[in-house]
């Protein structure tokens, strides 16, 4: 517990000894009591509790264990956890048998109240220890938030875990909640990226949830170019050259989705500076099919209000947006803490100003949560994450959980009942009604195109096979190659083999070996197209001179390298051995239609050249480098929590 914590004021006495007295031999008679006399008094929070002769905690047991003493007694120990902290506890019993029985009983409990004394153990644990006197089983009292109304709101501003180190929303948990609450749809608007879309599409279809696909982008003003090609900006906007504003972009239809994808690409490839930024002109150019919202306090409109812009200036700013956004004013309390706004009433007035602008411009005003986690209890996890990222005010973050319709309506008590309903329900549902069902990832697969790739690939495989095994090919070779090529070509995968062949050949020609790995080694066509050196045919001999071959198809040998060495019976040349007896189904499935995954390991020195060569094959605009999604490992998470606790 922090040094500034105060002692608990809970009353009662059990003495000041560091260890508890033995429990009464008589079993407790009160309903729910597991051990000791009936618990009476006020429940305290673990966080902030120091030495006290009697205290009551409610929570769950974790890490339960038992150890026997040399004196024939037993100590049951573990920790009790509430929603603020945890504390270690001990409970003495008169015998190991009593200890075993108590441990078994405690492991069967879901939630408990305990009473005992807290003292600092400076001999062994060097920590505060709870010496338990009484234990009572209690029913789980948590009330699940839900709603049951035909006119539920729609959340238009929400961040998933793909908003890097800022949000904690699981798409699956989100959709289950939205479905249970009866909300007609939910928007996903991560910071600058759309990586949650594929999972959202799959789960939305599975759970029957309509998804509004969007992004919270970073708006910047445009640079103008002089005749000397020197970038300049209007003097009025000079201070805003590098100023970023949050902006919500929602795809209204498939045209809008395409424009959204274009803007995402442009923001990362052409205007990335700390964040993937979007010049206003780029948004204007790709505005078709996009619904634009003014976003949170970091948006252009709210920032203009904070700066004290005139009514005319605010009208000009607001006219750029399709809908204006307000949020519970408590989301913006940091503006008061930082001295940017005088008091809480000023934050309320900001929302009222936005509503007035919407009425003046006949634009809908929508209330959103700016969701970063689902439940109020999850707030602490975001605080932990922000602390790890170096935010000094991580423990002063607003409540950014997903609110029910009633909770959201209650967040605007300063509005009339009719106006609150309009911004919370009517307008958000209207925005949703204007948005079509969208497929961000089209069905099926789309192989790249290289003219003549199938023919070149097929000819190469047969040419190389005949060079090794002769013409006509042995039955085993002919049947395997025919079958594989039929599966590969008919499913449109020939070009993928051809690409891999070209990349490997280019690297080898430049003097760098390439390692193929994984199940591609089960494809004989990959061997014959020089993608891999693994030969998946049954174990066999082959003569490099006269092309004589002998195959073992009945399991006589595990692999070709196990074959005894011998000379060719026809020409006397030393026979080569090969074949690892790997079925083609391992790579392309039993139906031969599984999407091939050809993994190639290029030299670290050569990877950039390999990437460049793919641009030569397909054109720079058609080649992309895929990234991976970073996660927080257990050890890293432990470090985050430790830093937060400190």
Count the Cβ atoms, other than its own, within 10 Å of residue 20. 19
**Same domain for 189 and 114:** no
pLDDT (0 to 100) of residue 450: 87
pLDDT (0 to 100) of residue 30: 65
Compute the chain's Rg from CA coordinates. 34
152 lies in some domain:
no
Q: How many CA atoms lie within 13 A of 181 on its CB side?
A: 26
User: Between vectors from CA 281 to CA 226 and to CA 252, what angle results, nearest 5°?
Assistant: 170
**Same domain for 207 and 130:** no
**Same domain for 496 and 423:** no
User: Between vectors from CA 447 to CA 445 and to CA 451, what angle results, nearest 5°?
Assistant: 155
**Same domain for 211 and 127:** no
Whether omega for the bond prior to residue 183 falls within 30 degrees of 0, making it cis, is no
Q: Which CATH number goes with the domain that contains 70?
A: 2.40.50.140
374 lies in some domain:
yes
pLDDT digits (tens, 9 = 90+) for 474-517: 999 999 999 999 999 998 899 999 999 999 999 999 999 998 88
Distance CA 219, CA 266 (A): 12
Q: CB within 8 A of 336, min separation 6: which ones?
A: 342, 343, 344, 346, 347
643 lies in some domain:
no
78: containing domain:
33-137
pLDDT (0 to 100) of residue 449: 85
pLDDT (0 to 100) of residue 14: 36
pLDDT (0 to 100) of residue 142: 63
17 lies in some domain:
no
**Same domain for 607 and 473:** yes
**Same domain for 586 and 528:** yes
**Same domain for 119 and 38:** yes
**Same domain for 316 and 206:** yes
Distance CA 535, CA 540 (A): 10
How many structural domains does the chain have? 3
Residues (pLDDT < 70) of the chain are 1-31, 141-142, 224-240
**Same domain for 176 and 106:** no
Which helix (H) or strand (E) is 247 found in, with range? Answer: strand 245-251
644 lies in some domain:
no
């Amino acid at each position: 517990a922090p040094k500034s914590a105060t002692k608990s004021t809970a009353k009662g006495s059990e003495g000041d000894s560091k260890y508890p007295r033995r429990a009464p031999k008589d079993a407790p008679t009160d309903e729910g009591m597991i051990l000791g006399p009936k618990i009476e008094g006020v429940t305290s929070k673990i966080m902030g509790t120091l030495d006290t002769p009697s205290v009551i905690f409610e929570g769950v047991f974790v890490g339960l264990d038992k150890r026997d003493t040399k004196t024939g007694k037993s100590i049951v120990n573990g920790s009790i956890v509430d929603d603020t902290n945890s504390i270690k506890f001990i409970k003495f019993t008169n015998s190991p048998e009593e200890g075993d029985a108590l441990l078994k009983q405690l492991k069967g409990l879901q939630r408990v109240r305990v009473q005992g004394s807290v003292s600092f153990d400076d001999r062994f644990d060097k920590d505060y220890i709870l010496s338990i006197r009484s234990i009572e089983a209690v029913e789980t009292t948590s009330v699940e938030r839900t709603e049951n109304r035909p006119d539920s709101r729609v959340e238009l501003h929400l961040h998933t875990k793909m908003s890097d180190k800022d949000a904690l929303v699981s798409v699956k948990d989100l959709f289950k909640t939205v479905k249970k609450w009866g909300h007609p749809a939910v928007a996903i608007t991560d910071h600058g990226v759309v990586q949650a879309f594929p999972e959202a599409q799959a789960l939305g279809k599975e759970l029957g949830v309509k998804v509004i696909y969007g992004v919270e982008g970073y708006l910047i003003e445009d640079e103008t170019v002089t005749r000397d090609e020197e970038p300049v900006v209007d003097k009025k906007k000079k201070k805003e050259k590098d100023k970023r504003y949050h902006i919500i972009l929602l795809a209204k239809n498939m045209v809008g989705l395409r424009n959204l994808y274009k803007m995402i690409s442009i923001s990362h490839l052409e205007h990335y500076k700390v964040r993937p930024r979007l010049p206003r002109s780029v948004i204007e150019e790709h505005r078709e099919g996009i619904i634009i919202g003014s976003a949170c306090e970091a948006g252009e409109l709210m920032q203009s209000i904070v700066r004290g812009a005139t009514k005319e200036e605010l009208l000009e700013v607001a006219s750029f947006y399709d809908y204006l956004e307000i949020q519970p004013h408590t989301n913006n309390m940091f503006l008061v803490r930082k001295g940017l706004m005088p008091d809480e009433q000023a934050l309320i007035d900001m929302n009222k100003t936005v509503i007035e602008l919407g009425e003046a411009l006949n634009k809908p005003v929508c209330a959103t949560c700016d969701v970063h986690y689902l439940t109020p209890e999850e707030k602490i996890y975001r605080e932990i994450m922000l602390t790890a990222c170096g935010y000094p005010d991580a423990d002063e973050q607003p409540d950014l959980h997903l609110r029910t319709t009633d909770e959201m309506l209650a967040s605007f008590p300063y509005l009339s009942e009719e106006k609150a309903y309009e911004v919370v329900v009517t307008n958000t549902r209207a925005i949703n009604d204007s948005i079509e069902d969208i497929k961000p990832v089209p069905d099926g697969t789309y192989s790249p195109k290289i003219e003549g790739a199938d023919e070149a690939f097929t000819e190469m495989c047969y040419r190389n096979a005949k060079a090794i095994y002769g013409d006509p090919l042995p039955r085993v070779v002919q049947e395997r190659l025919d079958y594989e090529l039929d599966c590969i070509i008919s499913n449109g995968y020939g070009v993928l083999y051809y690409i891999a062949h070209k990349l490997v050949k280019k690297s080898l020609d430049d003097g760098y070996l390439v390692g193929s790995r994984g199940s591609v080694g089960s494809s004989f066509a990959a061997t014959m197209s020089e993608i891999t050196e693994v030969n998946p045919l049954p174990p066999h001999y082959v003569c490099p001179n006269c092309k004589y071959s002998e195959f073992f198809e009945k399991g006589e040998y595990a692999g070709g390298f196990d074959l005894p060495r011998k000379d060719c019976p026809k020409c006397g040349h030393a026979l080569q051995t090969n074949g690892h007896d790997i079925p083609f189904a391992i790579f392309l499935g039993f139906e031969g239609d599984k999407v091939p995954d050809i993994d190639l390991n290029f030299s670290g020195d050569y990877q950039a050249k390999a990437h460049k060569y793919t641009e030569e094959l397909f054109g720079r605009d058609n080649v992309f480098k895929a990234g991976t999604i970073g996660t927080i490992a257990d050890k890293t998470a432990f470090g985050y929590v430790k830093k937060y606790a400190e």
